[in-house]
Amino acid sequence: MSTKRKVLQGSASNVVRVLLSMLVSLVLPPFLVHRLSAAEYSAWVLILQLGAYAGLLDLGLQTAIGKFVAEHDATGDREASHHLVSTSFTILAVAALISVSGLLVLVKQVPALFSQMPAALLPDVRLGVFAVGLSTAFALPFGAFASIFTGLQKYTFPTVVAIASRVGSAAALIILLLLHGGLVQMALVMAVFNVGTGVAQFIGWQNYARERVAFTFLLFHRRSAVRLVKYGSVLSLWTLSMLLISGLDTVIVGHYDYKNTGFYAIATSATNVMLVLVSSLFGPLLPALSSMEARSTPKQLGELCIRITRYCVLVLCLLGLPLFFGAYPLLSLWVGRSYAAHSAIYVAVLVVGNAVRQLALPYVIAVVATGKQHMATIAAVAEASVNIVLSIWLVQKFGAIGVAIGTVAGAIVSVAVHILVSMHYTRSTIFIERTRYVVVGLLRPLLTTAPSLCLLFFWRKYSMLPAEPAILAIWAVLTLALAWWVGLSADDRRLAKAAVTRLLYWRREPI
């Protein structure tokens, strides 16, 4: 199978998983906000957020496994893959034990972290954080098996497991709430599915991948460990930066502006749909670029990065613009007008911030795939620093909206540093003409937003119809026309037409 086809297959599998997860996401939050009080829903969001911190100590190893397994599989070096995966599991098991220690400290500090939280909720929150966090720590080393599938570019089984876990946990939560279950019982449900997902990943490796990648429990190969730590250490810094960028937002709101925590969390969930879709579409590039690196020149990789950036920006525009302008009506239909009235402004600002950050996603994937992430770390550190400092300062002055503004500022800094600094240091591996990157990769597809600048003059923020129907129709037609004629090149349009023709021909073929 060609590299291009593998990438498309991986993207398709990821999109299917995301779309089905989105269906769950459309059902679960409305159910939660109507069955739980605003304070209880805020507490539930914080339980999930704090419990997830136990998985942060993956040390960048899961990404490393996917990259190195792809390389070893391409060269047929099964012994190297065996040592690599087994050693990574051992390291992640130790990291899981350390994360449990940190979890115990975090649970103890819950009352101090959320002094505005109703006192009656504190015991349940502490137990809930412990249950979710402990199960997340247990599942941490089993993520190595999911990364094997990523490296082999076999996405079907991980997709099935992710969907089953997502749908199953949501169904269980709904049933539990119908039976009047509380926060602790909800946390236990999530813990059971976390553990089940980890075990399922191991079973999947046994049945579908062990012939190509071997594994031994408690095996530690020193050379593999050094290679993993060397590659993953910088990614760990990126992980810490991402924690400061997005992983602490809800917690910061919970600490300084608890009454708006649930509203901010709803906005985050809405914007995450865009982020997850984009990441799913372009994530399969990582193992593909890893296997391509040896047979491609830096200039070829740079041109590919510019081309994929153009696609990424187009997708961000086509997903983000409707969400920006339609925040209030979409949220009203989803979680009701009360939540929509509070959350719509957060959605609009977060869409901008997260879209700006994702502008550099293809470049970041290329950097990680070629093992040069240490040369681009400064952008992640700069974004994290700006984000966390501004968020804490602004939330005390303006409440939760200050955290969203901090996200936008940090994202702008990140993209600027990537262009001005990181691309200079990674040019020996990924040679990108920065002027061409900005003009062709960013500005050209961003012209798609031109009609939206005009729509701002007619935008009704808190109306079920953001503008007059005729104006919305003109806006949609002009936006799509610019995406087709300006965002896409002549070759892109030709390939798109050929793909549609093949699809129509295939559907007309007799069975």
| pLDDT value at 3 more than 70 | no
Summarize pLDDT for 6-62 with one digit per residue, the tens: 544 544 555 555 666 666 667 788 888 888 998 999 999 999 989 888 887 777 777
Q: What is the mean pLDDT of residues 83-109?
A: 91
Of 30, 49, 38, which is closest to residue 260 (Cα–Cα)?
38
- Say which residue, 161 or 293, is predicted with more confidence: 161
Q: Residue 103: its pLDDT value, please?
A: 92
Q: pTM of the predicted model, to two decimals?
A: 0.81
The two structure tokens encoding residue 469: 């129907």
Summarize pLDDT for 445-502 with one digit per residue, the tens: 999 999 999 998 888 888 888 889 999 999 999 999 999 999 888 888 888 777 677 6
Q: What is the mean pLDDT of residues 306-328?
A: 92
**Of 210-214, 329-333, 470-474, the least confident:** 210-214
Summarize pLDDT for 125-153 with one digit per residue, the tens: 999 999 999 999 999 999 888 888 877 77
- Say which residue, 8 or 247, is predicted with more confidence: 247
**Of 225-229, 411-415, 484-488, the least confident:** 225-229
The one-letter code for the residue type at 382 is A
The two structure tokens encoding residue 19: 């779309």
| pLDDT value at 290 more than 70 | no
| pLDDT value at 351 more than 90 | yes
Q: Residue 119: its pLDDT value, please?
A: 92
| pLDDT value at 368 more than 70 | yes
Q: Residue 507: its pLDDT value, please?
A: 47
- Counting residues of the chain whose pLDDT is more than 90, the rounded percentage is 45
Q: Is the Cα dihedral 136, 138, 142, 144 positive or negative?
A: positive
What single-letter DSSP state applies at residue 244? Answer: I
Q: Residue 46: its pLDDT value, please?
A: 93
Q: What are the DSSP calls for 179-238, one per residue?
A: TT--HHHHHHHHHHHHHHHHHHHHHHHHHHTTTTS---TT---HHHHHHHHHHHHHHHHH
Report CA dihedral (504, 281, 304, 364) to the nearest 10 degrees: 180
pLDDT band at 293 (very low <50, low <70, confident <90, very high): low
Q: Residue 147: its pLDDT value, please?
A: 85
Distance CA 286, CA 367 (A): 9
Q: Residue 412: its pLDDT value, please?
A: 95
Contacts of 210 (CB under 8 A, 6+ apart): none
pLDDT band at 437 (very low <50, low <70, confident <90, very high): very high
| pLDDT value at 510 more than 50 | no
Q: If you average pLDDT over every residue of the chain, what do you get?
A: 85
Q: Residue 7: its pLDDT value, please?
A: 47
pLDDT band at 355 (very low <50, low <70, confident <90, very high): very high
| pLDDT value at 416 more than 70 | yes
The one-letter code for the residue type at 439 is V
Q: Residue 336: its pLDDT value, please?
A: 87
- Owner of token pair 């960048």: 60
Distance CA 496, CA 484 (A): 10
Q: What is the mean pLDDT of residues 287-303?
A: 73
Q: Residue 511: its pLDDT value, please?
A: 41
Contacts of 12 (CB under 8 A, 6+ apart): none
